[in-house]
A = this chain, B = another copy of it.
Amino acid sequence: MEVHRKARLKNDVLLRALACKPTPYTPIWLMRQAGRYLPEYNATRAKAGSFLKLAKTPALAAEVTLQPLERFPLDAAIVFSDILTIPDAMGLGLFFAEGEGPRFERPLRDEAAIRKLAAPDPNAELRYVMDAIRESRNGIAGRVPLIGFSGSPFTLACYMVEGSGSDDWRNLKSMRYVRPELLHRILEVNAKAVADYLNAQIAAGADAVMLFDTWGGILAHDDYEAFSLRYSRQVLENVPGAPTILFTKGGSPWLAAMMNSGCNAIGLDWTADARAARNMAAGRVALQGHLDPAALFAPPERVREAARKVIDSFGVEPGHVFNLGHGLQPKTPVESVAALVDEVRAYSRALKL
């Protein structure tokens, strides 16, 4: 099945790079490549009525998943969805107030609610994601791989306990220090839920999956292993069907441990030392990243220069996937993205010759 699928892909450069195999150029895709910087995305979103309706309507989610492929010669699509679908399916009530980040109507604060928490059935409560993957895959028609994703167990827990994003994550951190066993209970359930969810995404057609540990970097140094990586590792061990990418924003202090987590690739943010990471990875895991998304606000010639600098820092040995260090920002000029994709392709191809 796996082999059959890959054989059908016209462009499997991403999958080769994730396996640290030689490629004719450095593949590129961009976090949040289907997003508000694209006028066609905004049109589809307006049709849907809201971000969440867009994510929950498979035909429209597939439509925006495909949009960036029509504009740019990217090496992958990523299914349009949210990192917080699992806690929503658990009944916490995900919503977005206009112009704000995600929130939950019923954050997890009391022991009874935490004891009742259970992993959802991804093919029931999260069927809309699987349908979006199936529809996206049909639309892509084997041109490039499709990436599935989820928030990491810890990052889900951050929002589940806090109820929203936060500067200091006071509720989450208080639970960690005052009632750590309750946080561990949430993380156990999340680890099962995320593994089930990613396996269902792979069964529905995802060719690779990414675990977004957006908030692992807020943990104290020794806590990262105990509260984040341990549970990401459980997920990775239980998702054998496709290459895996683990991204921790602010993950620099733990790169070596992340590389031993069982993932195929590490996502790096723009603060990470690419050369040091390459030496640490030593061809065992691939590296994905890590241009500062803000670099795309510069004129195209500067964008091209910044792209070359990133490629030089990772080198042209197998195992680099070009990406940003975080998601594309809404006001990014479309021509900057075009220049970036073009330069990465051309410059890396010339270097690899």
A294 and B171 CA atoms in complex are apart in Å by 9
A270 and B177 CA atoms in complex are apart in Å by 14
Interface residue ranges of A146-184 to B (CB < 8 Å): 168-170, 173-174, 176-178
Q: Does A58 contact B (CB under 8 A)?
A: no
A290 and B250 CA atoms in complex are apart in Å by 17
A220 and B221 CA atoms in complex are apart in Å by 21
Q: Does A331 contact B (CB under 8 A)?
A: yes
Would you call B221 and A297 a contact (CB within 8 A)?
no
Q: Does A339 contact B (CB under 8 A)?
A: no
Interface SS of chain A: helix
Choose among B177, B219, B306, B329 the residue that contacts A168 (Cβ–Cβ < 8 A): B329
Residue of B nearest to A295 (CB): B177
Contacts of A309 in B (CB 8 A): 222
Would you call B221 and A168 a contact (CB within 8 A)?
no
Would you call B297 and A217 a contact (CB within 8 A)?
no
Would you call A329 and B177 a contact (CB within 8 A)?
no
Q: Does A282 contact B (CB under 8 A)?
A: no
Central interface residue in A297, A299, A302, A331, by most chain B CB within 10 Å: A297
Contacts of A219 in B (CB 8 A): 271
Would you call B253 and A297 a contact (CB within 8 A)?
no
A218 and B173 CA atoms in complex are apart in Å by 22
Residue of B nearest to A168 (CB): B329
A130 and B170 CA atoms in complex are apart in Å by 35
Q: Does A272 contact B (CB under 8 A)?
A: yes
Central interface residue in A224, A253, A291, by most chain B CB within 10 Å: A253
Would you call A217 and B271 a contact (CB within 8 A)?
yes
Contacts of A292 in B (CB 8 A): 173, 177, 220, 223
Contacts of A306 in B (CB 8 A): 177
Q: Does A138 contact B (CB under 8 A)?
A: no
Indicate how many identical chains form the complex. 2
Q: Within the complex, what minimum Cβ distance (angstroms) separates A236 from chain B?
A: 22
Contacts of A299 in B (CB 8 A): 178
Q: Within the complex, what minimum Cβ distance (angstroms) separates A91 from chain B?
A: 27
Q: How many A residues touch B, CB cutoff 8 Å?
A: 39
Choose among B217, B295, B298 the residue that contacts A220 (Cβ–Cβ < 8 A): B295
Would you call B170 and A331 a contact (CB within 8 A)?
yes
Interface residue ranges of A303-337 to B (CB < 8 Å): 306, 309, 313, 325, 329, 331
Contacts of A298 in B (CB 8 A): 177-178
Q: Does A273 contact B (CB under 8 A)?
A: yes
A173-B294, A297-B173 known; A274-B178 Cβ under 8 A: no
Contacts of A170 in B (CB 8 A): 294, 297, 329, 331
Q: Does A252 contact B (CB under 8 A)?
A: yes
Central interface residue in A174, A219, A271, A329, by most chain B CB within 10 Å: A271
Give me 13 A-to-B residue pairs in the complex whose CB atoms sit less than 8 angstroms apart, sorted by A's number: A168-B329, A169-B294, A170-B294, A177-B306, A178-B298, A217-B271, A220-B271, A220-B291, A220-B295, A221-B270, A221-B271, A221-B272, A224-B271
Chain A interfacial positions (CB closer than 8 Å to B):
168-170, 173-174, 176-178, 217-224, 250, 252-253, 270-274, 290-292, 294-295, 297-299, 302, 306, 309, 313, 325, 329, 331
- Taking A168-B329, A219-B271, A223-B292 as known contacts, 12 extra A-B pairs with beta carbons closer than 8 A to each other, sorted by chain A number, are A170-B297, A170-B331, A173-B292, A174-B294, A177-B292, A177-B295, A217-B271, A220-B270, A220-B271, A220-B292, A222-B309, A252-B252
